[in-house]
Amino acid sequence: MLELNGVHAHYGKVHVLQGTSLEVHNGEAVGLLGRNGVGKTTTLKTIMGLVPATGGEIVFDGRGLTDLAPHRIPDTGIGYVPQGRGIFPTLSVKENLEIALTKAPPSQVTDYVFDRFPRLKERLSQPGGTLSGGEQQMLAIARCLVMQPKLIILDEPTEGIMPILVQDIRREIKAVNDTGVSILLVEQNIKTALRLCSRIYIMEKGTVVHEATAEDLKNDTETLHRYLGVTV
């Protein structure tokens, strides 16, 4: 459903993405791992049109994304949870949640979201900035859900979250995936990625250098060590 073919991207003259290719199939949860600064965030931003692709193609549901105005990309069915969560601190929780909606979502969607995130419902009129890190992450996910996306891409959703809440966030992502929404997950936390995703890509210096099923990667200590510097 989402396909990146040899995508390039630059920040000024710096060539950050150097031919990144990856694929997410319908209903699948895919992980994108790699050390600091290899270009994971840039890959997601390029998908969202926030960083222009300078080469290659990005196709979602048969439709090329690179020619679309960036603010039209969410409309195609892609939800985005940015690194650092991207909650607007001075907007209320309700305003954050409904920021992108031009009309109210069907009540079963809002019911579902408030069922899953009862704490957000209690805090609707509070400024987004007063929520805890974990609650903000839930809000960022909920904000995607009300847009009824087909794919959600998440950039390090467990970064800077209290360890006891990491499990909650994992559970929510899993629940979203179980409803048939595809997931593209960027993570530093390898355990989270291995638990949630069936397939994993590993990036290095702006390209994907390794692809494996989570099952295989779990036992491939050499690859894990080489690209991610972890010894399991």
Ligand X SMILES: Nc1ncnc2c1ncn2[C@@H]1O[C@H](COP(=O)(O)OP(=O)(O)OP(=O)(O)O)[C@@H](O)[C@H]1O
Q: At what angle do helices 133-145 and 163-178 cross, to 10 degrees?
A: 10
Residue 85 sits in the site that holds ligand X (CB under 6 A): no
Provide the greatest CA pair distance for the chain: 51
Q: Which residue of this chain has its Cβ atom nearest to ligand X in the complex? A: 41
Residue 6 sits in the site that holds other proteins (CB under 8 A): no
Residue 60: which of 90, 25, 31 has the closest Cα?
25
Q: Which stretch binds other proteins (CB under 8 A): 85-93, 108-116, 171-179, 185-193?
A: 85-93
Residue 172: which of 198, 196, 149 has the closest Cα?
196
Interacting residue with other proteins among 11, 26, 67, 71 (CB under 8 A): 71
Report how far residue 75's alpha carbon sits from residue 31's, in angstroms, rounded to the nearest whole number.
23
Look at residue 73 and give the partner it binds from other proteins, ligand X, Mg ion, none, a contact being a CB closer than 5 to 8 Å depending on partner kind: other proteins
Residue 11 sits in the site that holds other proteins (CB under 8 A): no
Q: Work out how close the CB of 226 gets to other proteins at its nearest, in angstroms, rounded to a whole number.
A: 33
Interacting residue with ligand X among 22, 24, 34, 136 (CB under 6 A): 34
Contact 136, 81 (CB under 8 A): no
Nearer to other proteins, 27 or 84 (CB): 84
Contact 131, 117 (CB under 8 A): no
Q: What does the CA dihedral 17, 194, 197, 121 come to, rounded to 10 degrees?
A: -100
Nearer to ligand X, 42 or 158 (CB): 42
Tokens linked to 69 = 């105005």
Interacting residue with ligand X among 36, 102, 108, 231 (CB under 6 A): 36
Interface residues toward Mg ion, by CB under 5 A = 41, 83
Interface residues toward other proteins, by CB under 8 A = 45, 48-50, 69-75, 80, 82, 86, 88-91, 95, 99-100, 102, 143, 147
